[in-house]
Structure 1
Amino acid sequence: MKNIADYRNKKILVLGLAKSGVSAALLLHELGAIVTVNDQKPFSENPEAQALLEKGIKVICGEHPEDLLDEGFQLVVKNPGIPYSNFLIEDALSRGIPIITEVELAYKISDADFIGITGTNGKTTTTTLIYEMLKEGQKNPLIAGNIGKVASGVAREATADHKIVIELSSFQLMGIREFRPKIAVITNLYEAHLDYHGTRENYVNAKKNIYKNQKEEDFLILNFDQEECTQLAAETKATVIPFSTEQYLENGVSVKDGYVYFKGEKVIECNKIVLPGKFNLENILASVAAAKLSGVSNAAIEKVLTTFQGVRHRLQFVRNFNGRLFYNDSKATNILATRMALTSFDQPIILLAGGLDRGNGFEDLIPYLHNVKSLIAFGETKEKLLKTGQKAGIENLHAVNNVEEAVPLAYSLSQPGDVILLSPACASWDQYKNFEIRGDIFINAVHKLV
């Protein structure tokens, strides 16, 4: 860790706690900053704030005081989830106070290079694959961000021999100033988080920040199957490495004659890859690019791709039971994610779907239901889904109370060779605290089958 003097004796406000806020406050305090933490949770119910106070850090809890910025702060470190429409953030901007997220702090103190991954879909799978490939290739990776430890905590541990592989959200990327990954990946760009960003343009601009500080000796891995991503190649100073599932790219990563190629070199036969689906192939190509640029051997890449069965709850292979293949895609909390899952299989599918009713219909699923032989619906949206299934011509339509009931029914309706797929197309909050709990219940129910 670099013991930098950039923050020494500066008055800094850490706005919002959670893991990233706690880590940022402790780090800044150690670097000699005069830190104040402000969090909405009352002090009596806030063990994190209590622990920071014991360290000598000033804490203000239970509200965001309107006059808070009158204390003369020189920097605000914002929790990524706090929108820029927050009145304190707007006040800080009007006063010209810089606003960063904890990722920027991690970069400032890190002795290790960063490999940063962003995009609308596939971030977690791509980040995990890159980490596993670098680990198999003995490149000393550390994983950070939304799926690992807090970035500044990881950066504390990192040496120059490490590589930090980090998943980055648009929320985090809005708060960077100097952050510069050696390798950056944009998996794809779709419309998302408009409640936070306001417009698609704002959302895409936030994603673009991943490469705004890159130079010619850095690399930007882009999805050339998307015109919007292709156009970014003209905007960056970095060396662009394109990937595509649809066209052969001599200077990038692509598929030809059943093999994955990196710059004309055969890397792995596609039939050996365990993860199903075209969208996962995109994630794989991006990961291969990052691994090859990091000096990982083809043998190490092949070892990972022939054994990696998916990130938990993201089209995760669960079990082959009597010839039925069970997949847990509980993270599919919207129609787009379920569409992508359905296109991953050529076999007959028994689809388990349903959850929180956000007022939308499911007609957009109809063109993707042609392989679905049975639909089992649950949750608040079950009636809507059954009507959609009827319109799609699915003959076997069933309603159940929950995921646990759906699994044995799905098995009873199936035949060897069928895929039994949990891909709800809905959030879980009508019945389950989060999608992870929903997916775990599915997994447990699958393993109870005898």
Structure 2
Amino acid sequence: MRVLKEFPFAKVLVLGLAKSGTAVAKLLSRNGVKVIANDLKASEDDENVQSLQSQGISVIVGEHPLSLLEDVDAIIKNPGIPYENILIDQAVKNRIPVLTEIELIPYFDINQTVGITGSNGKTTTTTLIYEMFKKADSPVSLAGNIGHVASEVAEQMHDKQTMIAELSSFQLLGISTFKPNIAVLLNLFEAHLDYHHTLEQYHNAKANIFKNQTEHDYLVYNADDQRILNMIKNASSNLVPFSRKEVVSNGTYCDEKAIYFRGEKVIELASIVLVGEHNLENILAAISVAKIEGISNQVIETVLTTFTGVSHRLQFVKDVNGRKFYNDSKATNILATTKALSAFNQPIILLAGGLDRGNEFDDLLPYMSNVKALVLFGETTQKLRKIGEASGIENLEMVDTMKEAVQKAYQLSNEEDVVLLSPACASWDQYKTFEERGNMFMESVHKL
């Protein structure tokens, strides 16, 4: 187990427990830091609270008393807690550092970190890079926003291991010294403005991924994204571009047949299992990192010819009598479904519907040209039916269960068709999570 080295704070307030807060509080305490934990919504009976208290950590629940700031050197907060929080707001005014737990990573003195961020595609790219390292027998750990508390992972890492970390704008906003040896910047769209308030502040948070990098580090970036091109002008890193639109001699690019790195052919496009233009960008980014690390084309090809996608994100499920089934249950909004529909040139039977959040679905209309049938469920059935009618789709079916939806979709399909679950809605009207919805879809497909 690694220990914190030269950590500059003797007393830390951990704000927000949940998974990362509880882990960080215990980690700091193990390393001799005095810890106070605070959570507004927790109660004394909560398992996390009792676990911390059993280890001698002071826990304050149900309120945010400003007195907690009187004798702390820093705050490490849950990434989702906004800066308008009364304690955070006052801490900023008092010039108390407000950090997120990824700021602990440099103090564990680990071998190397690859950090991936962007508005879309982080999880897929992070997973691809991880799989390439693993297949190359390179010691590697997965961490960050992908579900593994980064500082907790760092504490357990061995010498020569590389951390592959998915990093959100919320996490990156709370850093001071952290820097990845290889940073990956995928794309920038308008997102999380309820948290960051302005597009500029959102972009600034993302830019933190390379702000501490030097000429000894690498920045892999999307050369097709003008917002990114504007952002990286003052970067000190070695710049490695990727593009699906043009040849970038110092990076990774493609033509209609293959992907290349600095002029060297890496893999035929036809060999790649993962579909969609957005996934092509993720693949180009992952290849860039792999080639920087000297991973062979053979290893890259092995991963890309077998990797069917992250669970519930345009995930290939099964070929049933020539019909290809894809699980995109993570598509809980219209934008995600438009990307899924754009990924295919074949006829599509689209399974959609779910929680009604009050919005209409007109933005789907330009992407419905390949949809030959709609199978609808959930609260938004009638709204989506109108979109189907406006698109001239004759086969419009409404069902009550996912099992019915899959059976009906199969009946409406022919060989070479794609059956796509991409709901454009949250799942909470019928399922606890989008994962539960996706699992039910996959189970129904396997029972066909």
1:337 maps to 336
Instruction: Verify: 1:170 aligned to 2:202, yes or no.
Output: no
Cα offset, 1:144, TM superposition: 0.3
Distance 1:363 1:195 in 2: 23
Instruction: Report matched runs for 1:21-170 at 5 Å.
Output: 21-70=21-70, 72-170=71-169
Q: Is the 8 A contact 1:130 1:291 kept in 2?
A: yes
Distance 2:254 2:274 in 1: 15
Q: Is the 8 A contact 2:3 2:31 kept in 1?
A: no
Distance 2:204 2:129 in 1: 25
What is the CA RMSD across the aligned residues, in angstroms?
A: 1.3
CA deviations on 1:159-208 (whole Å, 9 max, x unpaired) are 33111000001110110100110000111111111111112221111111
Distance 1:434 1:110 in 2: 37
Distance 1:228 1:78 in 2: 29
Cα offset, 1:254, TM superposition: 0.4
2:54 counterpart letter in structure 1: E
Cα offset, 1:113, TM superposition: 1.0
Cα offset, 1:405, TM superposition: 2.2
Cα offset, 1:65, TM superposition: 2.4
Q: Is the 8 A contact 1:350 1:373 kept in 2?
A: yes
Q: Is the 8 A contact 2:349 2:418 kept in 1?
A: yes
1:395 maps to 394
Distance 1:325 1:257 in 2: 23
2:51 counterpart letter in structure 1: A
Instruction: Report matched runs for 1:18-417 at 5 Å.
Output: 18-70=18-70, 72-256=71-255, 258-417=257-416
1:429 maps to 428
Distance 2:4 2:107 in 1: 9
Q: Is the 8 A contact 2:7 2:107 kept in 1?
A: no
Distance 1:50 1:373 in 2: 55
TM-score normalized with structure 2 length: 0.97
CA deviations on 1:382-440 (whole Å, 9 max, x unpaired) are 11111011111111112222333211111111111110000011111222111111101
SS in 2 for 1:233: helix
Cα offset, 1:242, TM superposition: 0.8
Distance 1:260 1:15 in 2: 45
Distance 2:4 2:205 in 1: 29
Q: Which range is displaced more, 365-374 or 53-62?
A: 53-62
CA deviations on 1:81-101 (whole Å, 9 max, x unpaired) are 111111111011111110000
Q: Is the 8 A contact 1:110 1:158 kept in 2?
A: no
CA deviations on 1:14-36 (whole Å, 9 max, x unpaired) are 00111211121112112221110
Q: Is the 8 A contact 2:244 2:255 kept in 1?
A: no
Q: Is the 8 A contact 1:107 1:155 kept in 2?
A: no
SS in 1 for 2:221: strand
Return closer, same or farther for 1:43/1:437 CA change in 2, 3 Å cut-off. same
Q: Is the 8 A contact 1:39 1:60 kept in 2?
A: yes
Cα offset, 1:66, TM superposition: 4.1
Shift >4 Å, 4+ stretches: none
Distance 2:136 2:278 in 1: 24
* Identical aligned residues as a percent: 55
2:258 counterpart letter in structure 1: Y
TM-score normalized with structure 1 length: 0.97
Q: Is the 8 A contact 1:313 1:331 kept in 2?
A: yes
Cα offset, 1:232, TM superposition: 2.5
Distance 1:245 1:427 in 2: 31
Cα offset, 1:62, TM superposition: 2.4
SS in 1 for 2:233: coil
Cα offset, 1:257, TM superposition: 5.0
Unaligned runs of 5+ in 1: none
Cα offset, 1:150, TM superposition: 1.0
Distance 2:392 2:236 in 1: 51
2:14 maps to 14
1:5 maps to 6
Unaligned runs of 5+ in 2: none
Cα offset, 1:240, TM superposition: 1.0
Distance 2:173 2:443 in 1: 39
1:189 counterpart letter in structure 2: L
Cα offset, 1:5, TM superposition: 3.5
Q: Is the 8 A contact 1:114 1:166 kept in 2?
A: yes
SS in 2 for 1:104: helix
Q: Which range is displaced more, 40-49 or 304-313?
A: 40-49
SS in 2 for 1:67: helix
